Structure 1
Amino acid sequence: MAASLQVAMASLVPPSTSSPIGRRGRGRTVAGGGGGGGGGGVRCSAIGSKGSSSKLPLPPINPKDPFLSKLASVAAASPESLLDRPVSSDTPPYLDLFESPQLMATPAQVERSVSYNEHRPRRPPPDLPSLLLHGRIVYIGMPLVPAVTELVVAELMYLQWMDPKEPIYLYINSTGTTRDDGETVGMETEGFAIYDALMQLKNEIHTVAVGAAIGHACLLLASGSKGKRFMMPHAKAMIQQPRVPSSGLMPASDVLIRAKEVITNRDTLVKLLAKHTGNSIETVATVMRRPYYMDATKAQEFGAIDKILWRGQEKIMADAAPPEQWDKNAGIKVVD
């Protein structure tokens, strides 16, 4: 197939004007075409050449191959579009023949062969982050370790470059810079790096807590655009003080330096949470003395989110009667 494709491509490309064959062969047909020739200004082409006595047969083309089928149809209809191609083009060769080429991966299309349960994918399946990225969704489903921070920041920068006006959806299910048992797995700067990237974006940020938003993950949840911070009904949020990483056999002076850095990170975290939740610094510092867990309702009261994503909640709340109507229906008279 590769050899036949090379023969077909060779017949489509015009001869170079710098070679002796290109200067002397303008009045000839391709080898195998007989002794007759066209005019002096006609290029050598076996496709669509009206003056040639015989045409070079095209190699067999797989009808299920969309690119080769499109290329063959264009070559048969208007060969000049392939022969008179510009020298410098902004698109890859022949890709501009398609009206809307798909540059991103799509789910694998599988064709079933004759044998039982044998599949041949036409294209490689995409990875899950690429599919979510196509929907402008960034998903944080792990603790904030350096590899997660690198991927999330890169995705945020890419989505802003693609369209600085469309919103970005940040789904959060993370225990922050610690594991669920409280052991530190990442530096506090990992959470601050994602936070700073969010603050630099021009896009509107929609944050959604789908499982747990603990520590710095809760800060990312609260740092979304006002009115666009959501939480699932059974998700949990928790804020706590940063923890000192394992000191091991460090000297006492080094342990003291690390402890001072943790205190600095704690004060920064308190200030940022107070800024995005609307509470005072003293209030946030007080509740952060010990781990402070919040369900969806408590997180909304604390100011970490704006709305609980409960399907049908809007209709139920709209149908609910106000307290005054309840009192009136119950026969209760309100005394001023």
Structure 2
Amino acid sequence: MILIPIIAVMFALALDLIFGDPTNRYHPTVWMGKLIGKSIPYIKSQNPITDKINGILLLVLLITMVSILIASLSYSLKYIENLDLSILYKILFMGASIVLVGILLKTTIAIKGMEEHASKIMNSISKNDLDGARVQLSMIVKRDTKNLDKQHVISATLESISENIVDGITGPLFYFSIFGLIGAFVYRTVNTADSMIGYKTEIFRNIGWFTANCDKILNFLPSRLTSLVMVFSCIVLKEDWKHSIHIMKRDGPKTESPNAGYPMATLAGALGIKFEKMEHYVLGDGNSEITERHFRATISIMKVTTILFVLFFTVPVILLLSYLGLMI
């Protein structure tokens, strides 16, 4: 039924905005992270080639496990859908499917969770608790936060929000639109693995090599498409959308990641501010101090981008694939 995935997306977003993330005990992404963390000591070796092979096998195993579980569920739903049921049972089945798919899809999305964590950082800043803000920031970024000043802490916070628009919202929705729940969960699996082992450190350089490259490939289209949708969000919110396009084109490719720079540069241009990761990159050319207003504007851009992405991409793609008989 064509309405099931569309309504499920709306339901998933509503669940996230109302309830946020479930506790770690019930969060599949957390389960995945724990499994990866426990696997590393057993597969880490002193041989670079062995590490790369083990890293490939780890990610392939994780993707296979997730795909089998979600495919089994999808097959079961399809089987029931094709049964000769009464109208009442079909309506009940449709409702149950929407709830189930929506709940599962929600676990791949993080809007309220990102807002709440970023708000804690900003709250610490407002109380002049810079050390507390640094500690909270360290939970969501890879960089060393111990010596960051106030402006660099706020900059890193807004950068993380802009990255999360892709990693925690539009990325899962992009792959759900095309491949259904399997797409969203495989994307989230790769993304989670990359956040844990996709580092260019001595420990993870080889074991996380395959994961990091898969993440780059999967995020190539979503990051650029999201940046364009962010521009439309800026138009809706009356931010500087023309400058956002200019900075996106100019500074998007400056980051080490081939994807992360685009949403960050778009945001910096829209707000007329500058993002800086010391000794790595500078995005934007604004000289004004980053303030609470910029934080609130960033949250608004994240939420409006989510709505527009669903309207401009998710729903049209689902409708098109359903019309062509290609919806998974």
Higher radius of gyration, 1 or 2: 1
Choose between structure 1 and 2 for higher RCO, CA contacts under 8 A separated by at least 6 residues: 2
Question: Which is helix-richer, 1 or 2?
Answer: 2
TM-score range (shorter-chain normalised) is under 0.3
Structure with the bigger percentage of strand: 1
